[in-house]
């Protein structure tokens, strides 16, 4: 892992996401897709900081964030080791239940000390239990992504897991927040890809709704096309602003190191037009809905998406976690 770190890890100083969080996201993504295996040893903080041109504190903060998520563990005098992805909190242990029981006891003790009788407390408990049972009947899960085209990923998850799954775009979160602030819990859990996992988990953690991450696979036709290109060919890439441009470049290089990369921001009309009409580019990898613009301007070109399918192993793990089927 240490020798490969500078090739598969990257940050983009031109976006607003803090560098330590970008690095943590990047490591988490590479663990998810198998580029970094469980039990692999991450480079020492000083080494990785030097390789990537980052500060010591930036790398250390990224490692600490991953350690808090139990994705890595740091062993004194040995280093930082990858444990793997933790998809949900194992909070049903005997110790955890004992802690909850103790907290409930203290609440009841407080009510008794304030003059309430057991005859008054018991109906309260019954009403609370009834409310919890009613809330537990919620079977709908939410699939959250940033683009309407990602509905296809949602459909794959729904069909595979056979669950009631509603699709929503991230820009709808402010409206959903108003509903959640009333105490309503319309969803049993939230599913998203690891591109948005941090953002989505931070949002739903405050409402006590669990979030599950899934891994998406590269489009196989795109990989085959890149492999077949002549050396030093240029690949045009249209990416969304929230995607790490350098990471996409590294992704292409991991398939064919001898290919060149030329990118355009999907929301920059001038950049996009220049890329579409570049005569030395015949293969484009795009984000929806930019494929329509490219197909109109360059009907002779090959157009692919980066990701089209959910990783089967990721689906299997999620199925076990949600106890589906």
Q: How many CB atoms lie under 10 A from the CB of residue 5?
A: 17
Mean pLDDT taken over the chain: 82
Backbone angles phi, psi at 75, to 5 degrees: -110, 125
- What tens digit of pLDDT does each residue of 205-235 get? 988 899 998 888 777 788 888 888 898 999 9
The C-alpha atoms of residue 139 and residue 201 are separated, in whole angstroms, by 19
Give the count of alpha carbons within 13 A of 283, CB side only. Answer: 21
Fold type of domain 141-216+311-322 = Rossmann fold (3.40.50)
Tokens describing residue 296: 């109109």
Residue 70's nearest CA partner among 31, 34, 97 is 31
Predicted pLDDT of residue 113: 84
- What tens digit of pLDDT does each residue of 69-103 get? 888 888 877 789 888 665 444 444 455 567 778 88
Predicted pLDDT of residue 27: 86
The C-alpha atoms of residue 294 and residue 286 are separated, in whole angstroms, by 9
Average pLDDT of the residues in 153-166: 92
CATH number of the 5-82 domain: 1.10.10.10
The C-alpha atoms of residue 91 and residue 98 are separated, in whole angstroms, by 11
Fold type of domain 220-305 = Rossmann fold (3.40.50)
- Strands 79-82 and 72-75, bridge-based pairing: antiparallel
Predicted pLDDT of residue 132: 65
**Residue 22 DSSP SS3:** helix
Annotate 159-215 with DSSP letters as a single string. HHHT--EEEEEGGGHHHHHHHHTTT----SEEEEETTSHHHHHHHHHTTT--EEEE-
């Amino acid at each position: 892992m240490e020798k490969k770190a500078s090739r598969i890890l990257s940050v983009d100083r031109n976006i607003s996401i803090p560098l330590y969080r970008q690095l943590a996201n990047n490591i988490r993504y590479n663990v998810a897709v198998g580029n970094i295996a469980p039990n692999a040893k991450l480079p020492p903080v000083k080494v990785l900081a030097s390789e990537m041109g980052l500060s010591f504190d930036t790398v250390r903060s990224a490692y600490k964030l991953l350690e808090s998520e139990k994705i890595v563990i740091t062993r004194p005098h040995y280093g930082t080791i990858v444990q793997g992805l933790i998809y949900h909190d194992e909070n049903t242990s005997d110790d955890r239940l004992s802690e909850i029981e103790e907290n409930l006891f203290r609440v009841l003790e407080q009510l008794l000390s304030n003059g309430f009788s057991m005859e008054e407390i018991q109906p309260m408990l019954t009403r609370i239990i009834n409310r919890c049972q009613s809330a537990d009947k919620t079977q709908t899960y939410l699939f959250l992504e940033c683009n309407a085209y990602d509905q296809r990923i949602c459909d794959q998850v729904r069909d595979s897991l056979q669950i009631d799954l509603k699709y929503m775009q991230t820009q709808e979160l402010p409206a959903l927040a108003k509903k959640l602030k009333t105490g309503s819990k319309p969803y049993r859990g939230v599913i998203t890809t690891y591109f948005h996992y941090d953002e989505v988990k931070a949002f739903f953690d405050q409402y006590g709704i669990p979030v599950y991450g899934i891994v998406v696979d590269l489009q196989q036709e795109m990989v085959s096309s890149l492999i077949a290109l002549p050396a030093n060919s240029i690949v045009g890439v249209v990416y969304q602003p929230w995607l790490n441009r350098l990471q996409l470049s590294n992704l292409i290089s991991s398939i064919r190191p001898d290919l060149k990369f030329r990118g355009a921001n999907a929301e920059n009309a001038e950049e996009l037009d220049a890329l579409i009409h570049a005569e030395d580019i015949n293969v484009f990898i795009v984000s929806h809905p930019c494929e329509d613009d490219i197909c109109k301007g360059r009907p002779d070109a090959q157009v692919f998406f980066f990701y089209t399918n959910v990783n089967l192993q990721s689906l299997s793990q999620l199925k076990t976690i949600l106890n589906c089927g």
